[in-house]
Each structure stands twice: as C-alpha cells, then as structure tokens.
Structure 1
Amino acid sequence: MRRHALLALCFVLSLTALAPAGWSDAEAQSLSPIADDTRWTLAAVGDVIMNRRIAPFDHPGDPGFHDLANIIRGVDAAFMNLEQSVFRLQEFTGWPAAENGGNYEVGSPETLRDLVDMGFDLFNNANNHTTDYGVEGMRLTNRLLDEWGLIHSGTGENLGWASRPGYLETPKGRIALIGMASTFTPMSRAGKAGPTVQGRPGLNPLRLSTRHEGSPETMAALRDVARRQGANVSDDPNAPVRVFGATVFPGDEDRAVVSLDDVDRERVLHEVRNATDQADYVVVNSHSHEPGNAFMVPPPWMEEFARQTIDAGANTFIIHGPHQLRAVEIYKGRPIFYSLGDFIFQNETIDPMPSDQRDRYGLPLDRLASEIYDTRFQVDGDGNPTTGFPTESRWYESVVPVATFEGDEVVEIVFHPIELSWKAPRGRRGTPRIAPEELGRKIIEHLAELSRPYGTEIVYENGVGVWRR
C-alpha cells in the first residue's frame, strides 16, 4: 500500500488540477478515493535480534514468511524494536562495552536492508542492548538509519535528542514515534546538556526505584540478622533496617514497591503532548522487561504509565522486551500492547563474540562462538537449548497485530499468529513465519486469555485473532 501511496496521491492531485472551471473544492475532492478516508493502519512487532539475512525466504516458495512480509508491506506504517547495533564488525574501530544487555547483539547493514524491504519504517533504538558496543556502536547504527532516511527514536547525543520524537510523513498523516527504555545498562543512560558541559550520548531512560517493605515478623528477624552482622540497629519498630545491602521499611506485608521516577515520567509526557501538537498520530513505545521475562502480567507502574501516555495524546503504547506475549488493553479507544514478544530472535548465531562472553562462562580464549552458546544453553543432542534463557517455545511464538484506526481511535485489530521455528537447527531458528493453523489457534487463545482481565475480547476467526470496537 505504502509503495503506491505517492503515485495515488499524485493521481488525485492531477484530477483536482484538471477539474472543470467553476467546480467547488468539495466537488473536485470528491474525485479522490482517499479524500474522506480517515482510516490508517499500523503494524507492530516486538524484539528484533537479527544477524542473518531473511531476504532468501521472501518468495512464494516459503509462503509462511512471504505472506507475513506482505501483511507488513500492506499497512500505512510498520513499527519494530531494533534490539542490536548495526554495523560491519570487521570494520568497527570501537570496542565492546564492559556492560552489556546479556549478549553482544550486532548485525550487518544487510540485515537492516532486509527489514526495510520487509516494510518497516519506524524503529525504536532504546533498549538494554543499545550500547553493547559502546556509544560508537550506537552512533554508527543511528548514522546508518539516518543515511537511509529511516525514522527512529529513543537514543541521541544527549538526553534532549534521545527524548524527542521521530516523524514519519505518510499520505494518511504525520506519525510521531517516541521511544524509551526502563530496562537498560546504567552507562547507556543519556544525560542533559548543560551551559558549560556537553550532554551524555545514550538512550531515553525510564528510571525505576524499589522500596522494600517487611511485615512486623520479618522486620524483627532482619533486626536480629543486622545485629549479628555488627550493625547498630534501633529498637524502634517503625525504623527501617539496612541488611545485605538493602534498606527494608516496616509495612503490613513483605513486598517490593516499584515506582517510576517522576522526572522521567514528566519528561516523556511533555514530549507526548508536544508530539500530539506536531503530528496527526503518536506512537509511544518502551523497552521494559519488568518485572522480569518470566512474568506474563505487567507491573502496576507500567499499566499506570501506559494509560498516562494515552491521556497525554498518544494513539497507542507498545511495550517490547519480555520476549513473550502479554495482554492487550483498549484504553479510551486506544490500544496498549503490554508485550509483543519476539519477531526475529536470532540470538544464537552472533559470531564472533567478545572475550567477555568467554570469561562469563569460564571458557578459554580459543573457544568459538558455538561453544559459548553450547555452554550457555547446555544444548541437547539435537542442538536445542535445555537450560538458561531461552529454553521454551513461548519465546518463539507471538503475533503481529495490524491495528486499523479511524481518526484517533482504533476500530479493529487483526492479530496474525507467528512462530519462529523453535525446534529448527540453530542456523535456522528465530526467523518468523505465519503459524500453522493448530499452533496459531493456540497462540490467539493464549493472548485472548491474557487480555480478558482488561476487558479486551479477542476471537479466533479464519486463522487470525480479531478485536473489533
């Protein structure tokens, strides 16, 4: 659709210009098939970790991939989370960072070309792998995206640039993209530019703080432990206790209360309000693993913040990071995707790997990348991981939602179930295809079950999940 939109618009303008003299503007515009069309479509996917080409699959001989690619090409805008650096490793003059997001994720420029050919034009760059290869790796990735004219957000040369939207111009209107991350390595956080010192390059952060609370019984036990460690502990039952590097406050029950930093919250909401004035539609997204990849329910602070971005003017809020599906909520007529899982998950074929990964698993420097992965995942005789992350099919099953908006509100979402070849050999595992019928139904029913507590009813129809207003 997008590839022909410009030609269609030129055709419409030519019809308007050739309209007979004396026609009103309304009569001239009535010739246009899109003049009164307030509908626009958005496809969204979750995490993309990609270091192998996908172009060879894009032909009718591989219909599962080919049909999926055509679905994405057929929308007005397509969003993804680029969870890696993109540059040619053998030409890289920088070095891997001491901190990384769990693996050193990098792909060649050709992988990005395949993603563009597949139809993606909105890219989030803020995640826990943003600076796996330092600021230089982040800069090279941004430079390549800019050179290709691709719209991205979430990172920049200082906090101001990392926070600002990217803007995609389409025949259906201007779409703003705001990206951020609550899951990130501390050194990747962007900093403000000051009057005398330049800002710090990095990502747009959502900082979190955790308050630990203990029941009266727990607090009494912690006071006893702290005293045995030599600490001077107050007998006041209302006083906090610091033990094992953490401060625990008295409460009614044992719990950890996670709060979003108010400065970061207001900065993002300010950008959303600004983007609402500057664009026709606003897409907000965050890379957020919290409370952890194993959890299928988002934390309360995330639900609250997602709704606040909608209140500030966002048309949709998309979360990626947990590597598995979570619920969908329709809030005030606008969708919140609490996790879209994985879209491309080529997490085991990055080669070569920095020496830090060998150190992590106690391997000598002469060990190859495949031996690092074998140690990390403890693969079975068929090459399938048996321990560690990821070792279950749920990391390789997801959906690609195509949301149809009528103006500011969503009227329909079609969820296309996908599978990433969980049982395929390592060299072919992680590439998406439309899921076969039985698995597709299972994926949609799982998503429907997760979404039902939010009042979102998703039904399985003809191989896809459907929500309608």
Structure 2
Amino acid sequence: MSAPFSVAVTGQSLIRHDLKAMSDPRLIEVAQILKSCDVAFTNLETTIHGRHGGWPLKGTYFGSSRPGVLAALKELGFNSLALANNHAFDLGPPGILSTLEEVAAQDFLHAGIGIDQRHAAKAQKKLFGSRRVALIAMDAGPGPSFMYAENASEGRMARPGINRLNVSRVFDLEAGIFNVLHSVQERFRSSALERANYAQPEDPPRLNGQDEIDFYGTVFRKSDTSDRRLVVDRHSASAQLSTIAQEAGRDAFVIVYLHHHHWEPSWQQVPSWVREFAHDCVNAGAGLFVSHGAPVLQAVEIYRNTPIFYGLGNFLFHTEKEEREWSPPEVWKSVIATCSFGSGGRLEDICLRPIVIGGIEALLDPACDRLPFPVLADGKMAAGILEDLAERSTDFDTLLSLDNGIGRIAL
C-alpha cells in the first residue's frame, strides 16, 4: 500500500526574472506552502535560451528566459514542471533542446516536449519518497504544425517539439449561409497547385464528405444549426489515454497536464470538449488532471474522487505593463491548491489558498508597479476570489467552503 503524500498545484509560471535574490517575507510565505508538499507542480510558460541557442519564431507574443529562472523555481519549492505550451517552441528546436537540458540539470520531473514525438509523448517518472509519480503533458494548440514533435521517417528527419493533442475547429453553418460561402469559394477557386502553395508550411485540413469545405484553412460544415465545435482527434486522444492507462497499471500516481488556447468567449467558462477529455483521462487512470491556457481561474471538479483543475490561471506572470489585454483583474487572481492523498492513494483533502499575482497594491491601483511574484490574499480579497471560484464550480457539483480565508472542497 502506498504511503500518504501531497501535491501542490499552481497557475502557470510565465517567468522571465530571476527571483533567487529576493528575500521578501511574502514570497517566503508562498514558498513555504509549496515546500510543505511532496510534489509541487507548475507549467513552465516559456522556453529556455541556453547552450543550443535558437531564433524567435513569433512576433509580439514571443517569450524566452535564461536558465537562471529554473533555479529560482526550484528555490521556491517546485520540483515538477509541465513543458507543453504555446511558448515552448518560441526559439524553435534549439530552444526545445536547451529547455530539456536545463530542466534535467535542476532535477525537475518534467514532460511535454522531446527530441521527437515518442520522447515528447512519453510519461516521465520520478520517486517522491516512496511514491512513484508519472507526468504526462500535452498541448492542444492552436499552433502551427511545425511546433509539434515529429518522429523520423524515410527521407524526413525527426523534429524536436511539443507533445500534441490534435484538436480541430469546425464551424457548423445552416444550409443557406453554407451555400453562400461555398459559392464564394467556387468563384475564387484556384488550381490544386496554387492551393498547395498557399497551404505551405501547413498541409490543407482533411474534409469528411461533401458537407464540409476548406475555406482558406478553416473548415465549415453544413448543418441544421450554426455552432463552433472543437473536435479532438480520436487517434491522438487514444495514444495519450493509452500512456495514462499504462502508467496507472504500473501503480504510478499519474498527473495529466493539458495546455490549450481554445478559449470560450468568457475565459472563465470550461469548454465542453476539455471536460469530456478530462473525464476520459481519469477513466484511464489519471490521479490528477491540471489545465492552463486561459489566464484566469476556472472551475474545480471532483470526478471519481479525482481532482480536476480546469484552469488555475497564473502564478508568475512576467508581462510588460503596457500589454493591455492582461488588464482584467481576474488575470491577477488565483489559488494555490494542495491535495492530500491517504495511504491507499485516496483523495482526502483539498485546500485552496487565494493569491494575487503581482501584489494587491498593483491590483487595486494600476499606477503601482507589479511585484514579480504572487502574494497570499486575505480578508475581503481572499473571500472574493474563493466565492467566485465556488460559484463557478457549483455547475460541476463541487462544494467549496471558506474557513478563515482558506477554501476547502467537500469530498
């Protein structure tokens, strides 16, 4: 029988500044929570500019960090990192290689990128005390195909990159609108060769019958209603679920991580396809499911006695102050979740400690400079964060109680 153990999970860490020299008691207070758990997990929302170099592959939203940020995360108490996200390929394959090298040097449990697809999709394992933990991390985009890892084939080299959960976006259109769109396409129809030229570096999307059209890279489908749907590729999902089942069958505690930017118009809403996939992961044997992408708190669900954190927002968020898209206050509020498991591996307790990323003063007054780290919230601020999370989680049959500024989930 496995020994009791605990896991701390936080929002994503978009870290660009080294925090090791900081001795602020508010930062130490946060670090003590992380260090109190056997496993402390975050998503490294950047790529490391290290020995292998690399070149920026993005415009405005490019981001990379020096290796020193990893030592800073280690000093904070983190020992487990997801690496699959939209910034992991910002320096191309060299960034993937440097990131792998540097996180290994710091002895993190890490997963989600690799030298080829097999490596990127592999569950990485580590002993924490007497408990073997397996981590599987994946990204569902949207992003160009070249950022995802690929195995070598005849005449084609392997590509270092990210473990991909293949997801496609399909727009359902009523027949009248669909026919108009189809007529526009027919009017400007070009030769197969010209379409291939414009498709580079991507391949054209696959279509399923005459009721679907590829309208310059976006698939539209004739339907009785108008809707936007995200479709998870069955083969891609099956491969991920098989890996989960394999590790669970070896008595590992499996942490599954999903990163995606297929957000709903309300960032705090959980997409239905993510909920369905999370349930599939738990059914396959996951002991904990964590997701990031939308930079806000989303609902928490307990499914088959397994915690599902649909979105923990941010933990470290080193952005430029003039980036106005991150101005909503919800972007700067989150929680640190600590999950306690008994000797049989059964979930016994979840504690939620509300935090404010960048400091409370900067949240209340935009003229103030943000701190480069989160602080614990208290009083009305803490209650407000937890009450909002409790309200969003009720649709998932999750009951969250408040106790002196700390949230607890009834099991």
What's the TM-score once normalised by structure 1's chain length?
0.76
How far apart are residue 239 of structure 1 and its match?
4.7
How far apart are residue 218 of structure 1 and its match?
2.6
Contact 1:40 1:404 survives alignment (8 Å): yes
How far apart are residue 221 of structure 1 and its match?
4.3
Secondary structure in structure 2 of the residue aligned to 1:282: strand
Which one has more relative contact order, counting CA pairs under 8 Å at least 6 apart?
2
Find the counterpart in structure 1 of residue 328 from structure 2. Answer: 392
How far apart are residue 320 of structure 1 and its match?
1.0
Matches within 5 A, 1:222-233: 222=181, 225=184
Contact 2:257 2:289 survives alignment (8 Å): yes
Question: Which of 384, 387, 391 is the equivalent residue of 1:445?
Answer: 387
How far apart are residue 412 of structure 1 and its match?
1.3
Q: Which moved more, 1:120-129 or 1:290-299?
A: 290-299
The CA deviation string for residues 228-273 of structure 1, in whole angstroms up to 9 with x for no partner, is 7689xxxxxx855665654432212111221111121011111111
Find the counterpart in structure 2 of residue 410 from structure 1. Answer: 347
Secondary structure in structure 1 of the residue aligned to 2:11: strand
Question: Which of 171, 182, 185 is the equivalent residue of 1:212?
Answer: 171
How far apart are residue 413 of structure 1 and its match?
0.6
* CA distance in structure 2 between the partners assigned to 1:108 and 1:202 by the alignment: 19
Question: Which of 78, 90, 102 is the equivalent residue of 1:120?
Answer: 78
Contact 1:176 1:279 survives alignment (8 Å): no
Find the counterpart in structure 2 of residue 174 from structure 1. Answer: 132
* CA distance in structure 2 between the partners assigned to 1:432 and 1:133 by the alignment: 27
* CA distance in structure 1 between the partners assigned to 2:273 and 2:57 by the alignment: 30
Secondary structure in structure 1 of the residue aligned to 2:326: coil
Contact 1:240 1:250 survives alignment (8 Å): yes
* CA distance in structure 2 between the partners assigned to 1:139 and 1:70 by the alignment: 32
* CA distance in structure 2 between the partners assigned to 1:72 and 1:42 by the alignment: 9
Question: Which of 75, 78, 86 is the equivalent residue of 2:40?
Answer: 78
* CA distance in structure 2 between the partners assigned to 1:324 and 1:185 by the alignment: 24
Find the counterpart in structure 1 of residue 16 from structure 2. Answer: 51
Question: Computing the radius of gyration over CA atoms, which structure comes out larger, 1 or 2?
Answer: 1
- Give the residue type in structure 1 aligned to 2:387: E
Question: Which of 130, 137, 143 is the equivalent residue of 2:88?
Answer: 130
List alignment gaps of at least 5 residues for structure 2: 191-209
User: Quick one: structure 1 residues 427 and 166, their matched pair in 2 at CA, closer, same or farther if it must change by over 3 Å?
Assistant: farther
1:153 aligns with 2:125: no
Contact 1:40 1:172 survives alignment (8 Å): no
User: Quick one: structure 1 residues 103 and 240, their matched pair in 2 at CA, closer, same or farther if it must change by over 3 Å?
Assistant: closer
Find the counterpart in structure 2 of residue 270 from structure 1. Answer: 242
Contact 1:457 1:467 survives alignment (8 Å): yes
* CA distance in structure 1 between the partners assigned to 2:100 and 2:393 by the alignment: 35
Contact 1:46 1:321 survives alignment (8 Å): no
User: Quick one: structure 1 residues 424 and 168, their matched pair in 2 at CA, closer, same or farther if it must change by over 3 Å?
Assistant: farther
Contact 1:411 1:468 survives alignment (8 Å): no
How far apart are residue 428 of structure 1 and its match?
3.6
List alignment gaps of at least 5 residues for structure 1: 1-35, 232-237, 349-372, 378-386
The CA deviation string for residues 194-213 of structure 1, in whole angstroms up to 9 with x for no partner, is 47754221110011112221
- Give the residue type in structure 2 aligned to 1:418: I
Find the counterpart in structure 2 of residue 39 from structure 1. Answer: 4
* CA distance in structure 1 between the partners assigned to 2:72 and 2:38 by the alignment: 18
- Give the residue type in structure 2 aligned to 1:286: L
Secondary structure in structure 2 of the residue aligned to 1:79: strand
The CA deviation string for residues 101-146 of structure 1, in whole angstroms up to 9 with x for no partner, is x522222222211110111111111111111111111211110111
Contact 1:329 1:455 survives alignment (8 Å): yes
Secondary structure in structure 1 of the residue aligned to 2:380: helix
Contact 1:315 1:409 survives alignment (8 Å): no
How far apart are residue 297 of structure 1 and its match?
1.5
What's the TM-score once normalised by structure 2's chain length?
0.86
Contact 1:346 1:429 survives alignment (8 Å): no
1:192 aligns with 2:151: yes
- Give the residue type in structure 1 aligned to 2:283: D
- Give the residue type in structure 2 aligned to 1:78: A
User: Quick one: structure 1 residues 283 and 242, their matched pair in 2 at CA, closer, same or farther if it must change by over 3 Å?
Assistant: closer
The CA deviation string for residues 20-40 of structure 1, in whole angstroms up to 9 with x for no partner, is xxxxxxxxxxxxxxxx88421
* CA distance in structure 2 between the partners assigned to 1:188 and 1:223 by the alignment: 31
User: Quick one: structure 1 residues 227 and 204, their matched pair in 2 at CA, closer, same or farther if it must change by over 3 Å?
Assistant: closer
User: Quick one: structure 1 residues 224 and 438, their matched pair in 2 at CA, closer, same or farther if it must change by over 3 Å?
Assistant: same
Matches within 5 A, 1:226-265: 239-240=211-212, 243=215, 246-265=218-237
Contact 1:145 1:152 survives alignment (8 Å): yes
Aligned residues: 385
Question: Which of 267, 270, 274 is the equivalent residue of 1:298?
Answer: 270
* CA distance in structure 2 between the partners assigned to 1:87 and 1:132 by the alignment: 10
User: Quick one: structure 1 residues 250 and 468, their matched pair in 2 at CA, closer, same or farther if it must change by over 3 Å?
Assistant: same
* CA distance in structure 2 between the partners assigned to 1:424 and 1:320 by the alignment: 25
Contact 1:99 1:185 survives alignment (8 Å): no
* CA distance in structure 1 between the partners assigned to 2:48 and 2:122 by the alignment: 21
- Give the residue type in structure 1 aligned to 2:77: G
The CA deviation string for residues 279-335 of structure 1, in whole angstroms up to 9 with x for no partner, is 431101011222258521122221111111111111011001111100011110001
Contact 2:167 2:233 survives alignment (8 Å): yes
The CA deviation string for residues 82-110 of structure 1, in whole angstroms up to 9 with x for no partner, is 0112346xxx663423346x522222222
